[in-house]
Amino acid sequence: MKVLIFGASGYVGSHVARHLVQSGHAVSGVVRTESSGRIVEDLGATAIQGDMSDLAAIIAMVRDHDAVIWAAQLMLEDELRVTSALIDALAGSDRPLIFTSGTSLMSIPTGGDWDERSFAEDDPFEPRRQIAPRLEAEQIVRQAVDRGVRGMVIRPPLIWGNGGCRMIADFYHSARQTGAVCHIGRGLNVYSNVHVDDLAELYRLALEKGRGGALYFAVSGEVSYGVMARAIADSLQVETRSVTVEEGCEIWDRFMARIVLCSCSRQRSPRAREELGWKPREDRLDILEECRNPAYALDAARSVPSWVRPGTS
């Protein structure tokens, strides 16, 4: 299958691209820079120079491929615009379109405390106001089945593995900034998590046999932020420190502090497991081992994600 991936040089997209290439698919990745193109080529995929603002060029790229995966990061309104254009380009073809969302959409603000609520794929929930436009993008992808597009959504939880987890990197960043590994409140709050290679396998399964209109979760475990912070602190031989949301905004950014690090977001993935046969590997279940990966201690700078608008609150 000829697969076009938007965001193929990023953390999720690069792992998906590599996994699909190794599984026998012909993969192309849309890139904006030569350096990103080299990353994609090193994965065994073909780099295609493109600009997300050029919808006509995007539509032309789609025509030459059997399937499309959206794993790029844009501002939410731009994401909605490009996703709509992809559906228009694929209409009537019955080709797959996989849209990558995220479980911050359904996070519950707790101030660092635990919350008992846990959600399967199609359980009702109240979306976070700041990220609600992403739910609209999810819905138009899933409803695209009515237009002859096998649209599916993958909504990953906290993604980790191979030294690329942004959350773990942010705990290390807090140690560089303050001398202690910081968490918000009591650090009892939990995000479900998955190893990035297990997540890549879910994309392959959805691509090959997923149902149009489906939403898939990928959950392999959950560990509280406080426990993760403690594991990192022990590795660095420093202390942990509880901070307020306001302090967190100064240490990280407003999105991470107000949406992610102060919240609970707990899921289960029965649809992915039962419908697609997805199952995480036994040797990829321990996020605390990843917390001690020395790669994170080598990072010197932190950048705000491209899809976080300055001043998000």
- The string of pLDDT tens digits covering residues 98-114 is 999 999 999 999 999 99
Structure tokens at 302: 């932190």
Please indicate, yes or no, whether residues 115 and 231 belong to a single structural domain of this protein.
no
Higher per-residue confidence, 309 vs 245: 245
Share of the chain above pLDDT 90, in %: 85
Please indicate, yes or no, whether residues 207 and 229 belong to a single structural domain of this protein.
no
Q: At residue 86, does pLDDT exceed 50?
A: yes
Please indicate, yes or no, whether residues 181 and 100 belong to a single structural domain of this protein.
no
Domain that holds residue 29: 2-158+194-216
Please indicate, yes or no, whether residues 92 and 8 belong to a single structural domain of this protein.
yes
pLDDT bracket for residue 247 (50, 70, 90): very high
Q: At residue 313, does pLDDT exceed 60?
A: no
Please indicate, yes or no, whether residues 258 and 182 belong to a single structural domain of this protein.
yes
Q: How far apart are CA 161 and CA 296, in angstroms?
A: 11
Q: How far apart are CA 54 and CA 75, in angstroms?
A: 16
Q: What confidence score (pLDDT) does residue 189 get?
A: 98
Interhelix angle 11-22/196-209, rounded to 10 degrees, is 60
Q: What confidence score (pLDDT) does residue 123 get?
A: 97
For residue 273, tell me if it sits in a domain. Answer: no
Q: At residue 304, does pLDDT exceed 80?
A: no
Q: At residue 312, does pLDDT exceed 60?
A: no
Q: At residue 208, does pLDDT exceed 70?
A: yes
Please indicate, yes or no, whether residues 76 and 198 belong to a single structural domain of this protein.
yes
CB-CB neighbours of 166 under 10 Å? 16
For residue 271, tell me if it sits in a domain. Answer: no
Model confidence pLDDT, tens digit, residues 271-281: 999 999 999 99
Q: What confidence score (pLDDT) does residue 57 get?
A: 86
Give CA separation, 245 vs 227, 233, 255, 279, 288, in Å.
18, 20, 10, 35, 24
Least confident of 125-129, 269-273, 286-290: 125-129
Please indicate, yes or no, whether residues 138 and 42 belong to a single structural domain of this protein.
yes
Q: At residue 309, does pLDDT exceed 70?
A: no
- Overall number of domains in the chain: 2
Higher per-residue confidence, 166 vs 55: 166
